[in-house]
Amino acid sequence: MRYKAMQTIFDEGEIGDKMYVIQKGRVAILKKTGSTMNMVAELGPGDILGEMALVDKAPRSATAKTLEDTVLTVIDQEMFEDTLNVLPQWLYAIIRIMISRLRRSTSLKHFYELQTALPAVFLLLLQKEDTHSFEDLSQQINILHGLSAKKLQELMKILQKLELLEHDSNHDVTVKNPEEIEFLYEYLIANTNLKESLLKSEKLQTTLNKDRMRKLAVSLSDNFIDLALSLA
């Protein structure tokens, strides 16, 4: 099958029923982070793409788009299963397990990377200044945890969505609710469950609303997991 340059082969999130072998040309593998598409790999002749969806029937984990005129050999679900039928069942089971673990491990890698960096982000935001330079924050986090500016940008979007800070067009980061950020910081580094942290927090008796903090912590966790999955 022939594709013109900059033509989409498949989109992230769609159900796949074909895999492809590149005979000629180049293909970009793209992951969506927020509203941005980032290229995570470039494939060339002899490379295979789309194979994981045929094995575990999960949605496509990325978008594939040609970088130049490209020729692909297409292997559909029926052809793929006919080939697998000649394999012992135990070998097919191992292949499926490996694909499943690969998907999970990629997401977990990003999850732990973000989880490690988040308390440091909170700690830097709790310094005396109410307004921080995003560039300075990014440099410090990169030195401490190796987190890229793009990933920090996505974290900032989550914290802004939760009304913890403002991130303006000049790339300044302004803290809106330092008490809530302090609670979340203590919650993260204490490594305790949310209920225990809520009970232990002295600030809940004065400046913080218990229901608000419960919803905030849960929402942060949900957004955090979604971000890790989107980066995988």
- Specify the length of the chain in residues: 232
The mean of the pLDDT values for the chain is: 76
| Domains contained in the chain, CATH given | 2-86 (2.60.120.10), 105-231 (no CATH)
Residue partners of 183: CB distance under 8 A and separation at least 6: 197, 201, 203, 208, 213
Q: Whole-structure pTM over 0.75, yes or no?
A: no
| pLDDT score for 9 | 96
54, 80 in Cβ contact below 8 A?
Answer: yes
| pLDDT score for 101 | 57
User: Is the pLDDT higher at 213 or at 164?
Assistant: 164
Which among 92, 56, 58, 51 has a CA at the least distance from the CA of 74? 51
Most confident of 28-37, 93-102, 198-207: 28-37
Is the pLDDT score of 174 beyond 60? yes
User: Is the pLDDT higher at 206 or at 149?
Assistant: 149
| pLDDT score for 124 | 85
| pLDDT score for 194 | 47
DSSP letter for each residue of 192-212: --HHHHHHH-GGGGTT--HHH
- pLDDT category, 137, cuts 50, 70, 90? confident
DSSP H or E segment with residue 97? helix 89-125
Phi, psi of 13 (to 5 degrees): 95, -20
pLDDT 10s digits, 86-127 = 666 655 566 666 556 555 556 556 666 676 777 888 888 888
Per-residue DSSP letter, 16: P
User: Is the pLDDT higher at 91 or at 83?
Assistant: 83
Is the pLDDT score of 154 beyond 90? no
